[in-house]
Structure formats: C-alpha cells, structure tokens
Amino acid sequence: MLEQGHKAVRLIISGRVQGVWYRGWTVDQASSLGLDGWVRNRADGTVEALLVGPEGQVDQMVTLCHDGPKLARVSTVDITKAMGITPKGFIQKPTVDIEKRRT
C-alpha cells in the first residue's frame, strides 16, 4: 500500500537508450529526488523503470526521463500505474529478457 500523496509508475523508455548511460543517470536522478524503485535494460533494446515516491517527485522524474542523459535519444516513454512491493532506495537491476519471462 502506498503512503498518501505517493504514487508508483512503471516506464518503458524506447529510442537510443542503451549504451548511453541511461540506467546510471536514472539511478542518480531518482536517488537525488528521494525516489524508491529500480531501472533495467530489456533485451528488446528498451529501458524499464519503476518509480515510487511523492507524486511531485515522481512526476518530475517522468519529465526528466523524456530527455534522459546527453547521449540518449528518447522516442517514447510509456507510462502505466504500478503496484507491488518496492525496496527502499533506487537500484540498477540486471537486464531482463522479456521473452523468457513469458514462458
């Protein structure tokens, strides 16, 4: 259950977002905003992130993710409401193969 005034969103970021320090940048930005969650590369070339925290900070991070770090070229950011348990802090997770998860 989220605290009042908090929200959780899942992002799928596409474009030139791997090999450009997008995950490390996301950890730095989200941590500085006091968010919980994680970020990881996906085998399909996208980046996935879970952002949890006060609504204003989550919204600010979503806005930042539309640009990303200097070398990134973001095409789209798909945003969905998220639920579940989130560890405290913000971490970088290993790459996930989304095809293997479906089986």
Residues recognised as catalytic:
23, 41
Alpha helices in 5-83 (DSSP H): 22-32, 55-65
Please give the structure tokens belonging to residue 73: 């070229």
**DSSP H/E element including 37:** strand 36-41
Q: What is the largest CA-CA distance in the chain?
A: 37
Q: Which position has the token pair 């996301």?
A: 26
CA nearest neighbour of 48 among 26, 33, 69: 26
